[in-house]
């Protein structure tokens, strides 16, 4: 059985090397944050950094602790947590030796992809930045930047598969990744549409190049694929363009300093509007998409409630990171925001739970004012009053995506003209609904035309 143990080790003072040969002279925190390395002499042993947390595999067991940076010094926490699993004698010996060496760490230097930690006994632990794996690419979407930028050729990554738009058609293929970021893309399949000559030419060239992919590299927002002949395809992140966030709700998951505080973010407006709950208060803001995944949030308007100290502190820190956000991108069901100081906020999509809200009543709040329109969920059906009549429309749901039934029913009463017109418009929108989410007493329905219907909870 896996158990957890606190290994009480001495404080680790990792003094930063002033002779760091980083061509960009990057701050050590920014250079390390979000990256993982393996011990060059024993790849089973790893170390990774995210915000104020250090974690890794010591050979058999996982270890984790906190760290801070002050005056060019990294200080790891005195208490290092670890799982307590048994293993073969050799791995146990390597693990014990590694943790002992880590406890004697004295300095650290970073040069390109090599991380070196030197102990007080002048022993060097040399780590290599790990190669890309399938999880790094999964859920990412990019647009081609250095060729045919006006056409908008794209690439996205699913489990062992690539897909995208090649100029006229949609394409798809399998792919494999091996060590040293070597990529091989299989035979392309595609739709078979014809299009403008320029687009067809671009599609033909891109299809040939992508089929010859040989090496792949990924930064925060950029992807580069090199072909066997040395030609480069340079992509930038394209995951939040075109209303891809619209109608979705996310929960902050890596605010480890505040484990008991819930912070949410919803995208319920077409003009890049954002609203959510920041620990004590609700907030509203909007963001400007500067260049692909580069963003700037335009100030947070919040309610002015007081709450527990932990929640208030979490709210203050969250507001600071939002005000200093630099990048935002989607990675599957995760939403990543990176602040100017390289702090990573990792959100996970909060899928709508039908059972949790079954029987609750909601009232339409963002359109068709003057007509009372309600919605409840009963037995996987939307039921309510559409202005004059009562309606009942079955639906299916999976991961927030909904499919409306064609067999909905309604009473057939007549009423005031304004209410009848509102009813007609509402039912047209409702029958186009394709996504549902919920945040802080507000239910959101998004339609296939990207219209948003917001409902406030009544009871």
Q: Give the domain ranges of the chain.
A: 4-129, 134-237, 249-349, 354-457
Give CA separation, 142 vs 58, 165, 224, 289, in Å.
35, 10, 10, 15
Phi first, then psi, for residue 314 (nearest 5°) are -60, -40
pLDDT grade for 77, boundaries at 50, 70 and 90: low
Q: What would the two tokens of residue 379 be?
A: 């037995």
Please choose, from the candidates 11, 20, 111, 18, the residue with its C-alpha nearest in 3D space to the C-alpha of residue 54: 11
CA–CA dist 272, 445 (Å, integer): 16
pLDDT grade for 429, boundaries at 50, 70 and 90: very high
CA–CA dist 21, 140 (Å, integer): 31
Q: Where are the beta strands (DSSP E) in 179-293?
A: 182-185, 189-190, 213-218, 222-227, 232-237, 249-252, 264-269, 273-277, 282-291
Beta bridge partners of 49: 54
CATH T-level topology, domain 4-129: Lipocalin (2.40.128)
Under 8 Å CB-to-CB from 67, ≥6 apart: which residues? 49, 52, 53, 54, 74, 75, 76, 77
Contact present, 140 and 237 (Cβ < 8 Å): yes
Q: How many CB atoms lie within 10 A of CB 18?
A: 7
Please choose, from the candidates 331, 106, 357, 372, the residue with its C-alpha nearest in 3D space to the C-alpha of residue 237: 331
What is the predicted pLDDT for the residue at 21? 40
CATH 1.10.287.70 fits 249-349, yes or no: no
Kindly report which listed range (50-54, 144-148, 445-449) carries the lowest average pLDDT score.
50-54
Under 8 Å CB-to-CB from 126, ≥6 apart: which residues? 39, 40, 41, 114, 115, 116
pLDDT over 70 for what percent of the chain? Answer: 92
Q: Is 179 exposed, middle or buried (0-12, 13-18, 19+ CB in 10 A)?
A: exposed
What is the predicted pLDDT for the residue at 324? 94
Contact present, 76 and 66 (Cβ < 8 Å): yes
Span 390-411, pLDDT tens digits: 999 999 999 999 999 999 999 9
What is the predicted pLDDT for the residue at 268? 96
What is the predicted pLDDT for the residue at 231? 96
- When pLDDT is averaged across residues 205-217 and rounded to a whole number, the result is 97
What is the predicted pLDDT for the residue at 101? 85
Report the chain's mean pLDDT, rounded to a whole number.
90
pLDDT grade for 93, boundaries at 50, 70 and 90: very high
Same fold, 4-129 and 134-237: yes
Span 284-340, pLDDT tens digits: 999 998 877 799 999 899 999 999 999 999 999 999 999 999 999 999 999 999 999
Q: What would the two tokens of residue 432 be?
A: 């186009």
pLDDT grade for 119, boundaries at 50, 70 and 90: confident
Please choose, from the candidates 154, 160, 162, the residue with its C-alpha nearest in 3D space to the C-alpha of residue 178: 160
What is the predicted pLDDT for the residue at 242? 86
11: helix, strand or coil: coil
- Per-residue pLDDT for 445 more than 90? yes
What is the predicted pLDDT for the residue at 26? 45
Domain 354-457: assigned CATH number: 2.40.128.270
Under 8 Å CB-to-CB from 28, ≥6 apart: which residues? 16, 20, 69, 72, 74, 108, 110
Give CA separation, 253 vs 126, 177, 212, in Å.
31, 28, 39
- When pLDDT is averaged across residues 331-360 and rounded to a whole number, the result is 94
Span 250-264, pLDDT tens digits: 999 999 889 999 999
DSSP 440: T
What is the predicted pLDDT for the residue at 23? 37
- When pLDDT is averaged across residues 237-262 and rounded to a whole number, the result is 94
What is the predicted pLDDT for the residue at 248? 98
pLDDT grade for 202, boundaries at 50, 70 and 90: very high
- Per-residue pLDDT for 450 more than 90? yes
336: helix, strand or coil: strand
Q: Report which of residues 232 and 256 the model is more confident about.
A: 232
- When pLDDT is averaged across residues 90-119 and rounded to a whole number, the result is 86
Q: Which CATH architecture has domain 134-237?
A: Beta Barrel (2.40)
Q: What global pTM score does this model have? A: 0.84
DSSP 284: E
pLDDT grade for 6, boundaries at 50, 70 and 90: very low
Q: What would the two tokens of residue 135 be?
A: 């999880």
Beta bridge partners of 456: 363, 442
What is the predicted pLDDT for the residue at 70? 59
Span 13-35, pLDDT tens digits: 333 333 334 433 347 778 888 89
């Amino acid at each position: 059985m896996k158990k957890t143990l606190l290994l009480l080790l001495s404080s680790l003072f990792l003094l930063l090397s002033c002779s760091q040969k980083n061509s960009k002279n990057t701050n050590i925190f920014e250079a390390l944050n979000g990256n993982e390395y393996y011990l060059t002499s024993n790849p089973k042993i790893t170390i990774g950094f995210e915000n104020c947390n250090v974690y890794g595999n010591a050979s058999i067991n996982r270890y984790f602790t906190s760290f801070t940076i002050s005056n060019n010094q990294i200080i790891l926490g005195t208490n290092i947590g670890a799982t307590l699993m048994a293993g073969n004698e050799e791995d146990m010996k390597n693990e014990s030796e590694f943790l002992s060496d880590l406890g004697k760490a004295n300095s650290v230097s970073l040069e390109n992809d090599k991380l070196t930690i030197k102990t007080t006994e002048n022993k060097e632990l040399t780590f290599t930045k790990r190669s890309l794996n399938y999880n790094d690419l999964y859920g990412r979407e990019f647009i081609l930047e250095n060729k045919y930028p006006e056409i908008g050729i794209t690439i996205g990554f699913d489990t062992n598969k690539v897909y995208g738009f090649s100029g006229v058609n949609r394409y798809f293929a399998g792919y494999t990744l091996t060590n040293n970021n070597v990529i091989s893309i299989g035979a392309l399949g595609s739709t078979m549409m014809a299009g403008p000559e320029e687009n067809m030419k671009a599609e033909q060239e891109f299809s040939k190049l992508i089929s010859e992919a040989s090496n792949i590299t990924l930064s925060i927002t950029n992807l580069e694929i090199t072909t066997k002949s040395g030609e480069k395809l340079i992509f930038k992140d394209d995951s939040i363009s075109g209303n891809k966030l619209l109608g979705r709700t996310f929960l902050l998951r890596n605010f480890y300093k505040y484990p008991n505080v819930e912070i949410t973010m919803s995208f319920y407006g077409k003009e890049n509007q954002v609203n959510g709950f920041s620990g004590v208060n609700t907030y509203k803001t909007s963001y400007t998409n500067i260049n692909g995944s580069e963003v700037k949030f335009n100030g947070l308007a919040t309610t002015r409630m007081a709450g527990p100290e932990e929640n208030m502190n979490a709210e203050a820190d969250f507001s600071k990171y939002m005000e200093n956000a630099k990048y935002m991108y989607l990675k599957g069901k995760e939403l990543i925001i990176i602040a100017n100081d390289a702090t990573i906020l990792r959100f996970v999509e909060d899928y709508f739970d039908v059972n949790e809200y079954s029987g609750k009543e909601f009232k339409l709040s963002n359109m068709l004012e003057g007509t009372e329109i309600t919605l409840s969920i009963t037995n996987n059906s939307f039921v309510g009053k559409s202005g004059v009549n009562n309606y009942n429309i079955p639906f299916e749901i999976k991961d927030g995506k909904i499919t409306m039934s064609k067999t909905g029913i309604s009473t057939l009463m007549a009423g005031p003209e304004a209410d009848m017109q509102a009813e007609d418009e509402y039912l047209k929108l409702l029958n186009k609904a394709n996504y549902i989410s919920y945040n802080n007493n507000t239910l959101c329905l998004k339609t296939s035309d990207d219209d948003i219907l917001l409902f406030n909870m009544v009871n």
